[in-house]
Amino acid sequence: MAHSPQQPEPFTSKTTTAELEDLRTRLRRTRWPDAPEDCGWALGTDVDYLRELIDYWVEEFDWPAQEAALNALPRFRVPIGGLGIHFVHARAKSDTPALPVILNHGWPDSFWRYSKVVPLLTDPGAYGADPADAFDVIVPDVPGFGYSDRPAGDPLDSIAVAGLWAELMRVLGYERFGAAGGDIGSHVSRYLALNNPDRVVAVHRTDAGLPLYPGAPTDLSESEQTWVAGAVAWGQTEGAYAAMHRTKPQTVATGLNDSPAGLAAWIVEKLRSWSDCDGDVERAFTKDEMLTNITMYWLTQTIGSSMRMYRANSAIPSEQYARRVEVPSGFSLFAGDVVLPPRAWLQRTANVVRVTEPTRGGHFAPFEEPELYAQELRDFFRPYR
């Protein structure tokens, strides 16, 4: 039977032996930079740690096993807006209709961010939670990330991606759904709610993004002004990557797409800086977990296309940031995340019905603390089923 133009088709990623041999050859031939004695992570990625990670990548990391685990998830591809979109679509293990929820990732990741929480959300009863809290879970890769197509022309901004996801949910038969996300996925979730208030029953976010306020700074409360100042200070010490992504992404993409060691350095430094690991990245992620994320970037050659989304988002008109989300909104502000917003800002920008402050977890909370994150979603969305 012929497929309709928007018929999702099962997808399985398949890596060839030649691709893996090329990767290992490049890793073995890494030309290492010098580094000041005992600088550690102070100037960026610790070269000594990176050497250890690269050695593990070459000698011990089992990508076929990791790929098989990812392929155990129900993965699909479907054409939406002229692009092939990759997504996980896992239905609830429930006898009653479940609330569908679309989970939106950020950078530097993909559907990988939510790979641990899918079973916790679709089958809560198997993990000691209430079976009535089961979800149908949809986790798409943003175009230019993971296994979705890379846009051939201008990169898409978060508003455009939200439009694609509204159509994706319609293709999947969901007229009513919840949305959740963090990082870029927080913005995508916000625009889903702003532009589809008749379909999005509630929206959950793990951050409010960086403060972009189109009005006069003096209009902000004292706590908001303090937050803005803190965000500016964070940008001066931690924001060089974002400035590069916004302005000259192709320059750095050339190096990162050619050198797997360089790619690892670019991503691992952020996994460490933004997670709740107290400076030890392996408190938040195992080597296998980090390298699974990095290897996906390498094999799909999406580091450049993923960075270009920052450029697209930087061109979003300022009036978009003045819009208030009226859909019921919840925030889980994990203690180890960066630039935590005050409640005054949350209430200014959204119809806030719930704010929690989990004491563990950071920017990648769904991966760092999957059980805790899953419970946050169950608790928040329960009234909107």
Q: Is residue 4 part of a domain?
A: no
**Residue 131 above 80 pLDDT?**
yes
Domain that holds residue 103: 9-27+39-384
Q: pTM (2 decimals)?
A: 0.96
**Residue 217 above 90 pLDDT?**
no
- Domain count of the fold of the chain: 1
Tens digit of each residue's pLDDT (9 = 90 or more) over 296-336: 999 999 999 999 999 999 999 989 998 999 999 999 999 99
Q: What is the mean pLDDT of the chain?
A: 96
pLDDT computed for residue 197 by the predictor: 98
Q: How confident is the model at residue 5 (pLDDT cuts 50, 70, 90)?
A: low
Q: Is residue 266 part of a domain?
A: yes
Q: Is residue 136 part of a domain?
A: yes
**Residue 72 above 70 pLDDT?**
yes
Q: How confident is the model at residue 2 (pLDDT cuts 50, 70, 90)?
A: very low
Q: Is residue 248 part of a domain?
A: yes
Q: Is residue 278 part of a domain?
A: yes
Mean pLDDT of 246-256: 97
Q: Is residue 304 part of a domain?
A: yes
Q: What CATH number has the domain bearing residue 339?
A: 3.40.50.1820
Q: Is residue 3 part of a domain?
A: no
Question: Percent of the chain, pLDDT > 90?
Answer: 94
Mutual angle of helices 222-238 and 240-247, in 10-degree steps: 80
Q: Is residue 2 part of a domain?
A: no
Question: Percent of the chain, pLDDT > 70?
Answer: 99
**Residue 110 above 80 pLDDT?**
yes
- C-alpha distances (whole Å) from 124 to each of 38, 94, 119, 311, 334 are 47, 9, 8, 39, 22
Mean pLDDT of 150-155: 94
Which residues are designated catalytic?
A: 183, 310, 363
